[in-house]
Amino acid sequence: MPGKLAAPQKAASPTAKSTCTGAEAVMRSLVAEGVDTIFGYPGGAIMPIYDALYDFNHKVNHILVRHEQGATHAAEGYARASGKVGVVFATSGPGATNLITGLADALMDSVPMVCVVGQVSSGLLGTDAFQEANIMSVCAAVTKWNYQVTDADEVADAMAKAFFIARSGKPGPVVIEVTKDAQFAELKKSFNYTPVIELPYYKKEPGFTRKKLQQAATLLNQAQRPLILAGNGVGIAGAEAALLALAEKTGTPVACTLHGLSCIATSHPLYVGMLGMHGNYAPNLLTNQADVLLAIGMRFDDRVTGNLNFYAKQAKVIHIEIDPSELNKVVKADVPLLGDALTILEQLTPLLHTYSHTEWLVEFAKLDAQEEEKVRRKALYPAKVKLTMPEVIRVLGEQTNGEAMVIADVGQHQMMAARYYPFQKHKSYFTSGGLGTMGFALPAALGAKTGAPDREVVAVIGDGCFQMTIQELATIAQYKVPVKVVVLNNNFLGMVRQWQNMFFDGRYSFVKMENPDFAEISRAFGINALRVEKREELPGAIQQMLHSEKPFLLNVLVENEENVFPMMPTGAAVDGMLLE
Amino acid sequence: MQTLKIYTENKIGVLEKVTTVFTRNRVNITTLNLRANALKDLSLICVSADISPELALKVIPQLKRIIEVADAKLKAESKL
């Protein structure tokens, strides 16, 4: 693959060795798990593992990022695009603490990741040795599981457990910390990697009863105004087709959370829009008129529910969820169905009657027409002199036929991409939805393109976010990953500015940004780029970007003070959305 | 006052993972007792706190989410 290290010159085949160090055991474990890509950054306490990696270069592609946070987001992008576990290497101390944001991000968004981090030798633990940090404690709140290995013979079992935990049940990040002496030490036993398929006290998939399934079916069969709320769990379970089958059989409209986007084509007649603070008008308002909500793999985030005191009090709630701690955490479920979304949907649909809810769908259409008139038309075809974010997304959508994988950062541009990109393919919108991590998109796009090289991957990034992980342009250039980057540059921290504009009397407190020319910056990194300022330049620039077989960046100067509408203000109910 | 009985694997760092859940939910622990190998090679952690039953019931599934936790229940219903 492009950018790999030169092949080792004198390395014997690792598998031919009769002995094996802890570091080699890490690499053999990764190979046994089928890992083909690692995002990482070396340092003192992980040098034995990097030395072992040198011998495995022909089997595993290591991408040297420019900051460990970038490695975690790249691994997230890789995992979400490929469906595999993302793998990260980092050293001890600051290398490991730099992972924290990405770990928290992966935990919030249920992304499978295994991070192997170095640690000082076990004899130095607790001595404030150079680059020693108590990573096990630091990581406890931001990982699904973590474990410190101090014995080389423990490596294989710890790695097998790590991969099982990361990918099973509700996926999440795992940290395996290996002390330097354990990396150097030779195994006393022969290396043996046995994949883990179960653990004594961990239920990867809690069960649901036939009785609950029948209760859900009865509710749905009696419903006159049902609404499906499709979340992240649909895509994670690969349940897109099962969701569509249920929706089409029962004629039930489908609304998506931010993470649920693209699990159904936006052009499908049953798709009624995005839920949440900047989602679509109709599904938000009609959540409070539905008689049955079928929530699938979503966790009733506060950005989706608005004021809980006024959220769907009239509705019976069926909640399909794999994590028991999510049930009744925010919204009480009348019928909880614990388990994998695909399994449950495939068993639920045969119990449902064929139906159509024509009048109910007309109500969505009426409200949608209001949003079209008051918001969308003006946003997509603006009369303003300067370019706007929605029209850039519109042109991008037209030129990619809605088939690109869009990786969005966090802020106004994230919402504009979510609202206006016409998703036609599954697994096409990845963003930092839970933690809201600015700087996510550039490294995540690098990882996504590595994990799904056949997809057109376009990162949509704001000027604030871009400068948080801008150094990963060097990684993209070095490994020649043909990621396309669209910076929607309004010289503001746009979402914060919008809130200051609407709710803080226009007192703009530290949101104005004087930026360098990102196109010139990009070219300095070795990535072709264009600065786009005029409307007539936009289609040609996007076309040039998409036709490029190399990474390409557009620095698009957009309207400085554009607001995202509709909007559900803090404290408002879902039916209290503002159209303007 | 609620008392929770939490059965965990007897491993380094598990107590910290357990107390993190209480911290996150802003629960002040008033009594804590840990006995290793109390049952089937499991540790038993008993935690008392001045919280509502509703909050205790919210904390329990979060405790169960910890990989090393075998079970967590309010004291009255603990039967493991």
The predicted structure's pLDDT at residue A201: 86
Is residue A17's pLDDT more than 80? Answer: no
The yes-or-no answer to whether A210-363 and A385-557 have a common fold is yes
User: SS3 helix, strand, coil % of chain B, rounded to 5?
Assistant: 30, 40, 25
Helices A389-399, A538-547: inter-axial angle, 10-degree rounding: 50
Query: What is the pLDDT confidence band of residue B40, given thresholds at 50, 70 and 90?
Result: confident
The predicted structure's pLDDT at residue A1: 35
The answer to which of A181-195, A386-400, B32-46 has the lowest mean pLDDT is: B32-46
Q: What is the pLDDT of residues A348-363, one digit of tens each?
A: 999 999 999 999 999 9
Chains A, B: CB contacts within 8 A come to 37
A130 is catalytic: yes
Question: What is the average pLDDT score of chain A?
Answer: 95
State the residue for tokens 């092949």. Answer: A7
User: What does the block give as tokens for A226?
Assistant: 């049902």
Provide the CATH topology of domain A210-363: Rossmann fold (3.40.50)
User: What does the block give as tokens for A432?
Assistant: 């930092």
CA of A113 vs chain B CAs: smallest distance (Å): 16
**Residue B53 at interface with chain A, using a CB cutoff of 8 Å:** no
Cα separation values, A215 from A99, A310, A318, Å: 44, 25, 9
Is residue B27's pLDDT more than 80? Answer: yes
Q: How far apart are CA A312 and CA A289, in angstroms?
A: 7
Q: In what order do the strands lie in the sheet with A61-64?
A: A61-64, A37-40, A86-90, A113-119, A173-179, A145-149
Phi, psi for A131 (deg, rounded to 5): 60, 30
Is residue A455's pLDDT more than 90? Answer: yes
CATH number of A14-184: 3.40.50.970
Give the CA radius of gyration of chain A: 24
**Residue B58 at interface with chain A, using a CB cutoff of 8 Å:** yes
Structural domains of chain B ordered from first start: 2-75 (3.30.70.260)
Is residue A16's pLDDT more than 70? Answer: no
Q: What is the pLDDT of residues A38-61, one digit of tens each?
A: 999 999 999 999 999 999 999 999
Residue in chain A nearest B61 by alpha carbon: A325
The predicted structure's pLDDT at residue A6: 38
Residue in chain A nearest B9 by alpha carbon: A201
Is residue A9's pLDDT more than 70? Answer: no
Please compute the mean of the pLDDT values over residues A180-192 and round it to a whole number.
97
Query: What is the pLDDT confidence band of residue A207, given thresholds at 50, 70 and 90?
Result: confident
Is residue A345's pLDDT more than 90? Answer: yes
Query: What is the pLDDT confidence band of residue A18, given thresholds at 50, 70 and 90?
Result: low
Domain locations along chain A: 14-184, 210-363, 385-557
Contact A327 B13 (CB under 8 A): no
Please compute the mean of the pLDDT values over residues A391-395 and round it to a whole number.
98
Query: What is the pLDDT confidence band of residue A145, given thresholds at 50, 70 and 90?
Result: very high
**Residues 6 or more apart in contact with residue A516 via CB below 8 angstroms:** none
Quickly count: other Cβ atoms within 10 Å of residue A240's Cβ. 22
Task: Specify the higher pLDDT residue, A492 or B78.
Answer: A492
Question: Residue A137: its chain B contacts at CB < 8 A?
Answer: 13, 16
CATH architecture of the domain formed by A385-557:
3-Layer(aba) Sandwich (3.40)
The predicted structure's pLDDT at residue A200: 87
Q: What is the pLDDT of residues A520-575, one digit of tens each?
A: 999 999 999 999 999 999 999 999 999 999 999 999 999 999 999 999 998 999 99
Q: What is the pLDDT of residues A102-132, one digit of tens each?
A: 999 999 999 999 999 999 999 999 999 999 9
The predicted structure's pLDDT at residue A204: 74
Question: What is the average pLDDT score of chain B?
Answer: 91
Is residue A14's pLDDT more than 60? Answer: no
Q: What is the pLDDT of residues A239-252, one digit of tens each?
A: 999 999 999 999 99
Q: What is the pLDDT of residues A251-290, one digit of tens each?
A: 999 999 999 999 999 999 999 999 999 999 999 999 999 9
Contact A329 B9 (CB under 8 A): no
Q: How far apart are CA A67 and CA A69, in angstroms?
A: 5
Q: How far apart are CA A504 and CA A499, in angstroms?
A: 7
Query: What is the pLDDT confidence band of residue B77, given thresholds at 50, 70 and 90?
Result: low
**Residues 6 or more apart in contact with residue A43 via CB below 8 angstroms:** A90, A91, A92, A93, A95, A118, A131
